[in-house]
Structure 1
Amino acid sequence: IPLLLVPMAVESCNFTCLGFSVGLHNRRVRRIKRTMMRIFTSIWMVLIVAAILLGVRIDNGDTVKTLRYKTWDYFQQIHPRNAISDSITVVNITEEDLKRYGQWPWPRHVMAMLHARIGDAGAILINYNILFAEPDRMSGVEYLKSMPMTNELREQLGSVLLDTDKVFSTVLRESGNAVILMSVKNDAGVELPSTTQIIEKGDVKPWLYAYQGIVAPTQKISAGVSGMGVNVTSPEPDAVVRKMPVLIRIGNKIYPSMLLENVRLLNGSKRIKVIAKEHGIDEVLVSKKAGIPVNHNAEMYISYTDPEKYVQMSASEVFSGTFNENKIKGRIVVVGMDAAGLSVLKYTPHGLTTDQMISAQALDTLLTGKFLLRTPQADTFEILFIGFLGLLMILLVPRVSVLFSVPLLLFVTGGISYASFMAYANKGFLVDPSFAVLYVFLIWSHTTYNNFATQSRLRKQIKKQFEHYLDPGMVKKLQKDPALLKLAGETKTMTFLFSDIRGFTPISEKYKGNPQGLTKLINRFLTQMTDVIIKNGGTIDKFMGDCIMAFWNAPIANPKHRQMAIKSAIEMQSELVKLNKKLIAEGLPQINIGIGVNSGEALVGNMGSEQRFDYSVIGDAVNLASRLESSSKTLGKTLVIGEETRRTIENKFSFEYIDSITVKGKTEKIKVYTIL
């Protein structure tokens, strides 16, 4: 479609000025026309580039997302969150702790001691970024289960041996402040009961990240906790943790994150309310006044700060009691692994860090209220704004000098970047400047180059060719507005045929070591198909690899162009059957084809450069013929014919209606047919 617009932008081939015909100077006029065509082509190429770039942004692929996220990462690096709640403490289980208290996993009674020490110091909530999915292997009760003995003896010994899982569970229950980890997995698992009631309003589940199964703590430990949650991070193309889902889905059951469980417990709530609207998740509430601002997938953006600002201590410090109790009293404590080989380091805008530090950053984002917000309308606004900027640059840059266009570029790109950064720094709004800046720069580069090179060349040619024949004022007028020189092509109603080999890649693979053989095979096929087309009055437009493009009714008028095109398509199928019989006999692969035929108006004529041009045709009807050929495979038909071709010759052939389809580039459905 964009290619169709280039020659249609101008209308007349006759150049007349002040009553003085320059028809006698055809050679010079042709040069001007060629230069003008370059200008129009350049303008449309800029529009095409702009449209393609806008399409890339609308598609919102991984590259666009990564560019956007890297920009926001940079914002967080140069302007990290300043507010610190002083309500978070991170307890790391380090390599030194393992040397002192034994290899991991520690017996559960040791974990019970750790929890009791932290609780006695006044922690309001204790989060474990540690999965207790298996019974304690050091528990006496678990040991007895593996020993060969009678049940009576096992019960007698069990009454005197320590059940460490039960001890840990009891300590957790009595403290009433434990939040522990559940993990997700990619294979199916049973749905487990949640410690939290989740109320859904609207169609919530489709918007949540879904996983196959969940790994929960043992039943004994689960019975003693106040909250259980997952601690997954949002999948990103570059694996940097920027967002955290506060809710996930496994089957038909919704599970909260540890972050959301902390908010619930801090507000003394027993349930979570999730509200979904047409654009996705709208609100996640633990009470009428408390909730978490999330996006449509129930994700919260984490506002990071320097990890060194947080209070951190080792498990050894907790056990020894050498710490200042004010570092724990009235705080939320996050416990996790920091020993080499046991901790999982993840990338954040501030570099590699542990799971427990990411949890601390997320909790502190909530406690400080310094949220990062991106509204559901942000994408739409940015796309419209980018489109507006592109048109603005296309309109402004050609009208100013190169020297002025550079400050214009700096002003626009700098303004976009500054406004986006200030929205982040002052309000926490996440606005993507990256693609807008890239978009403006590319449009500016393309437009400036075309403006400088093409316009300069055209002005020189106009002056050279017309300064002796036209009034100087008119020459200057032409130099200022070269669009006064108009061009046009011949528009005719024609019929077009596209044919392409199906499964060409497997065929070419068989000739991997014999390119000459592949060339010979393709030439045999093209020769027979070409003979059919030419015999029926068609014009071969071009060969595109294994594809044939042909048309009827030009350059020789043919009132039966629709009929002859279909006749050719039928005979091509017959010839292919004969060819395949020969190929089978020679031990060569068979060839299958798809054919598309369509009729309509198109522009036909010599197209190309001064050095080389071709007699060709372009237009929407041509494109549709190509689309019909492409759709033949999905429709399961060798020949697909458009409605415009069938319209006036429906009595000449036995047409079979296939379906009404939508092809790329069209919004309306098109009726398509084949021949019985």
Structure 2
Amino acid sequence: MTGETWKSVQERWRHHGRVMLGIALVATLVAWACEEAHLLESTEHIAYDEALVRYTGGREKSGQVVVVAIDQSTIDRISQDPQLQLNFGNWPYTRTLWARIAQELKAAGARAVLFDAVMDERTADESADLGFAQALRETGLPFYVGMASSGSAKPLVRADFQAPVPLTAPEAAPPASPPDGDSFPEEFEEAPAPATPVLTPEALARALAFPVRRTDGRPLPRLGDTPSQPSSSPRYPVPPTSALVNAVNGVGLVDMEADGDGSIRRTSFAYTDGLNTYVTLPVRMMADLLGAKEVTLSGRTLRLGERTWPVDANGSAALDYGGSLQERFVMVRLFDVLNDWIRRAKGDTPLLPADTFQDKVVVIGGTAVGLNDIKATPFSPTEPGLVKQATVVDTLLSGRFITRASPGVDLGLTFLVALVSAVLLVTARWTLLEVVWPLALVLGLHALMGLLLKTSHTHVLMAMPALAGVGASVAALAFNHLVANRETQFIRQAFHRFMEPKLVEQMIRSRQLPRLDGENKEITAFFSDIRGFSTFSERFKEDPRQLVRILNTYLTAVSGALLHEGGCLDKYIGDAVVCLFGAPMAQEDHAVRACRGALAAKAAVDALRVDFHQKGFPDVYTRIGVNSAVNFVGNFGSDQLFSYTAIGDGMNLAARLEGANKAYGSVIMIGPRTYELAKDHIEVRELDRVRVAGKTEAVTVYELLALKGGLDASMRQTVARYHEALALYREARFAEAAAVLEAEAARSPEDGPTAKLLERCREYMEAPPENFDGVANLEK
């Protein structure tokens, strides 16, 4: 960033700082209000899902959790095998099947089993339930089943975890025996099942509930609450069958916990029905595996035994899926587990690899579409619901949940985005940036969200800061438009009298508005003055109105020639005219325009001189100075009066060149930079090398004679002879130079520069100068 650009930025900050801050504050408050009213919820869900998939997907498979899938092929294989169908029936299978699965998983070395289903209905063959319970007791395999909540379920009594758990006398039950035609090995035939225990209300409540303690005073969610809205009516847990309650190691909630759009993104770890507390199925299992007697929620921390996990302040957390179910977990068909049990019972070697279940937590659940357990997740709209349980178990074993950033962070980011948007667009005022910024803002926030999800498992809101940023951008553009309209009107009013109206409109249409606060830029300055204007005005001291009419006629002629070439009239100082080329409207050919304007002004004055001579008016012989340089242009003045002008050494030199014409007998003198920029378009005579007062460096000055190709043969000869004499003069060969000039003066006596240089050569012939360097001093 250049120094001038930085000055411009500071100027806009100083003038519009409060506006930028106000825009940011209003945009932040509007976005916050929309977030609080849940108007951005669906947008936030979409952004979160895309970021989660893009930045956290593709993780390697879990090494601690294996999924046993009740897939369509399992259902088909069992239904197509008469013996299996006879033994286990159609879906939902008899509990005998799950007894065999538990026996096989125990034999295969499974650490624990999480059964993502409820078993809250007694089967027609009660002995199958009792046989399943007996198998679980015999294997000793930690086995956990789900329970749902319902508005029609009966409330439980308060669970007393300190008192013993009494059972009533068991009811009689018929012995269990395998169905006719059972082809299983004799050693695995059903043993007589024990009687069905009848749980007391106190024992049932203790079996289903689990101690949960909040140390921060916040309430637990009620049963049936979802992340998007609370339950509309009281709900209570539906217990498994009595035969299983004491046979399984634990029971946990398996409610869906979906957001308002039906997608599963979060989980709460504990719920209450107002009397007892309950935990989700994965938490119930992990409590046993970690030896925890209670679940503790403290602020933003979940504790089980000695293990802790960061969670949100409300006791929930988002699930770090890491990919789809197939991508994240080893999948084993239920039929393959059953088949290995049959092979193992017959003495054959199981087909599954020996380490498939060794020391792994096994999650059993349905993946077949017909089981009605297909749910939506960020990774797929048709994902088996057991992916939630598997993900929670895997995270509790060795991962982290995704937690929301604190409200202060979200609000701070929102304000920062709004402020940056306002400052950037109000300061820059660049059309491309105005178009690209909103898109870049959204993409940048999306990338930020994704990177934070990946690196710190933190969910920073995107929709709220994006809305604030876009809103601030729109407000900034509206403000810019208002300011631009004001500036346009000011430019139109300020310059329409000093520039051709069509150029003013072109400058406005092309958005080449001048920076009124000032800027450094290269321009070409024009200065003109009437020779002997004091004497001129003296003649009209008795008739000042006539002087005004004559002067106005003169200024109109000169100004018209300059405006025609695109010049901007800077000021009139009596009879003097100051004009700028290249400002306020940028003109790459400002030097050429100034030269054409100077020649046109000279021609207009020559015609005016003839007219004035015929009317008996004084002569208006005019001298002109033109110089190109970098000057500081902008509005200068006081609170009472200011105007658009330029200041700098370049302007001073232009004024000096106008006055120096007197010493050289020339009409239009131009500086070296003007010659360099316009030399391909003009005819000039090199007059001399001069040193301006206060400067040590000498510059070459030129007389502007005509546009390219506009010199006649006589003038070309005059210029050639002058250059020949000038070269001799610079070598201090004054007599030889005078001889050349005398010959040319005799041929062209009206040529002023020839006469002036001849006069100087004669003077130096009589009194040679000391330390002559060929440079003339251009005094003030």
Pairwise TM-score range, normalised by the shorter structure: 0.5 to 0.7
User: What's the CA shift for 1:466?
Assistant: 5.2
Contact kept? 1:57, 1:383, Cα under 8 Å: no
SS in 2 for 1:456: helix
Contact kept? 2:295, 2:304, Cα under 8 Å: yes
Q: Does 1:347 align with 2:376?
A: yes
Contact kept? 2:324, 2:383, Cα under 8 Å: no
What is residue 283 of structure 1 aligned with on the other side? 301
1:366-412 Cα distance to aligned partner (Å, 9 max, x none): 3331432324x2x2221132123323433442232224644665665
Q: Which has the higher contact order (CA 8 A, sep 6+)?
A: 1
CA distance in 2, matches of 1:477, 1:340: 67
Contact kept? 1:209, 1:297, Cα under 8 Å: no
What is residue 198 of structure 1 aligned with on the other side? 211
SS in 2 for 1:105: coil
CA distance in 1, matches of 2:472, 2:297: 42
CA distance in 2, matches of 1:395, 1:243: 37
User: What's the CA shift for 1:315?
Assistant: 2.0
- Identify which of 114, 117, 121 aligns with 2:108: 121
Contact kept? 1:173, 1:223, Cα under 8 Å: no
- Identify which of 367, 372, 375 aligns with 2:402: 372
User: What's the CA shift for 1:303?
Assistant: 0.9
CA distance in 2, matches of 1:362, 1:245: 10
Residues 111-510 of structure 1 mapped to structure 2, 5 A cutoff: 111-139=98-126, 163-174=127-138, 175-191=140-156, 192-195=204-207, 197-202=210-215, 206-211=219-224, 212-269=235-292, 271-277=293-299, 282-287=300-305, 289-304=306-321, 305-309=323-327, 310-321=329-340, 322-351=351-380, 352-375=382-405, 377=406, 379-403=407-431, 405-406=433-434, 413-451=442-480, 453-465=481-493
SS in 2 for 1:193: helix
1:148-174 Cα distance to aligned partner (Å, 9 max, x none): xxxxxxxxxxxxxxx221111112223
User: What's the CA shift for 1:319?
Assistant: 1.3
Change (3 A) 1:343 1:84: same
Q: Does 1:66 align with 2:89?
A: no
SS in 1 for 2:365: strand
- Identify which of 48, 55, 62 aligns with 1:85: 62
Change (3 A) 1:216 1:292: farther
The one-letter code sitting in structure 2 at the alignment partner of 1:373 is T
SS in 2 for 1:333: strand
1:192-227 Cα distance to aligned partner (Å, 9 max, x none): 524464152436572324341111101110110111
User: What's the CA shift for 1:47?
Assistant: 6.8
SS in 2 for 1:82: coil
More moved, 127-136 vs 431-440: 431-440
Change (3 A) 1:319 1:188: closer
Change (3 A) 1:47 1:71: closer
CA distance in 1, matches of 2:25, 2:514: 26
Change (3 A) 1:339 1:415: closer
Change (3 A) 1:344 1:404: same
Q: Does 1:109 align with 2:85?
A: no
What is the TM-score of this pair, normalised by structure 2? 0.48
Change (3 A) 1:214 1:221: same
Runs of 4+ in 1 over 6 A off after TM superposition: 42-45, 468-471, 476-479
User: What's the CA shift for 1:348?
Assistant: 0.6
Contact kept? 1:463, 1:479, Cα under 8 Å: no
Change (3 A) 1:283 1:55: closer
The one-letter code sitting in structure 1 at the alignment partner of 2:412 is L
CA distance in 1, matches of 2:492, 2:147: 80
User: What's the CA shift for 1:302?
Assistant: 1.2
SS in 2 for 1:397: helix
Contact kept? 1:128, 1:336, Cα under 8 Å: yes
Contact kept? 2:51, 2:447, Cα under 8 Å: no
CA distance in 2, matches of 1:428, 1:416: 16
CA distance in 1, matches of 2:311, 2:24: 37
CA distance in 2, matches of 1:224, 1:173: 6
1:540-562 Cα distance to aligned partner (Å, 9 max, x none): xxxxxxxxxxxxxxxxxxxxxxx
SS in 2 for 1:129: strand
CA distance in 2, matches of 1:361, 1:184: 22
CA distance in 2, matches of 1:338, 1:85: 18
SS in 1 for 2:219: helix
1:509-544 Cα distance to aligned partner (Å, 9 max, x none): xxxxxxxxxxxxxxxxxxxxxxxxxxxxxxxxxxxx
SS in 1 for 2:91: coil
Change (3 A) 1:227 1:448: same
Aligned length, in residue pairs: 407
CA distance in 2, matches of 1:45, 1:369: 43
Change (3 A) 1:199 1:408: closer
Contact kept? 2:116, 2:365, Cα under 8 Å: yes
User: What's the CA shift for 1:254?
Assistant: 0.7
Change (3 A) 1:193 1:339: same
Change (3 A) 1:336 1:199: closer
Contact kept? 1:88, 1:334, Cα under 8 Å: yes
Contact kept? 1:205, 1:249, Cα under 8 Å: no
CA distance in 2, matches of 1:374, 1:123: 35
1:601-648 Cα distance to aligned partner (Å, 9 max, x none): xxxxxxxxxxxxxxxxxxxxxxxxxxxxxxxxxxxxxxxxxxxxxxxx
What is residue 35 of structure 1 aligned with on the other side? none
CA distance in 1, matches of 2:440, 2:333: 51
User: Which consecutive residues of structure 2, in runs of 5 or more, have no partner in the other structure?
Assistant: 1-15, 157-203, 225-234, 341-350, 500-511, 518-780
Change (3 A) 1:337 1:422: closer
Contact kept? 2:212, 2:294, Cα under 8 Å: yes
CA distance in 1, matches of 2:28, 2:458: 27
The one-letter code sitting in structure 2 at the alignment partner of 1:117 is E
Change (3 A) 1:138 1:418: same
User: What's the CA shift for 1:125?
Assistant: 0.6
The one-letter code sitting in structure 1 at the alignment partner of 2:473 is W
CA distance in 2, matches of 1:409, 1:480: 29
More moved, 292-301 vs 110-119: 292-301
The one-letter code sitting in structure 2 at the alignment partner of 1:126 is V
What is the TM-score of this pair, normalised by structure 1? 0.55
The one-letter code sitting in structure 2 at the alignment partner of 1:273 is V
Contact kept? 1:109, 1:168, Cα under 8 Å: yes
CA distance in 1, matches of 2:420, 2:67: 52
User: What's the CA shift for 1:120?
Assistant: 1.5
SS in 2 for 1:341: helix
Task: Give 1 or 2 for the bigger CA radius of gyration.
Answer: 2
CA distance in 2, matches of 1:292, 1:105: 36
Task: Percent identity, please.
Answer: 18
